[in-house]
Amino acid sequence: MKNTMTYKGYSASMEFDPDDKIIVGRVLNIDDIISFHAESVVEFEQVFQQSIDDYLQACEQLQQAPEKPASGKLMLRISPQVHASALKAAQQNGQSMNKWVESVLTKTLHSQH
């Protein structure tokens, strides 16, 4: 069973490891790997928050921007002609514009790998 916790816009998965009897956490939706563990939910929250604070501080010291999690919202400016064509394609596929664009992006990204 997976749960999540959020702090400063970052979310972490919470998964219980029955062998070691700890809660293992990993920050989600960024490429940088931030993982940690704790023995209780209270300790997990403290360690998660400290991990994020340490990450933000390390990025500042390295003078690099911290990676921000993807929100799942994408705002685009496209030509009206492309917009109209995309609406028609979505309708022809029986999908909402959001679902159609998501499927096209997913298919394109998978074909690049």
Q: Which helix (H) or strand (E) holds 92?
A: helix 80-92
Q: Is residue 89 part of a domain?
A: yes
Report the sign of the C-alpha dihedral through residues 45, 2, 19, 29, in that order.
negative
Tell whether 89 and 53 lie within a shared domain.
no
Tell whether 18 and 46 lie within a shared domain.
yes
Q: Is residue 69 part of a domain?
A: no
- Return the SS3 of 112: coil
Tell whether 57 and 85 lie within a shared domain.
no
Place of tokens 């960024």: 30
State which residues form the domain around 45: 2-61
Q: Is residue 75 part of a domain?
A: no
Q: Give strand pairing partners of 7.
A: 10
Q: How many domains does the chain have?
A: 2
pLDDT at 41: 94
- Report the alpha-carbon distance of residue 50 to residue 27 in Å, rounded: 12
Give 64-87 pLDDT, tens digit per residue.
999 998 777 888 899 989 999 999
Q: Which helix (H) or strand (E) holds 52?
A: helix 41-61
**pTM score:** 0.68
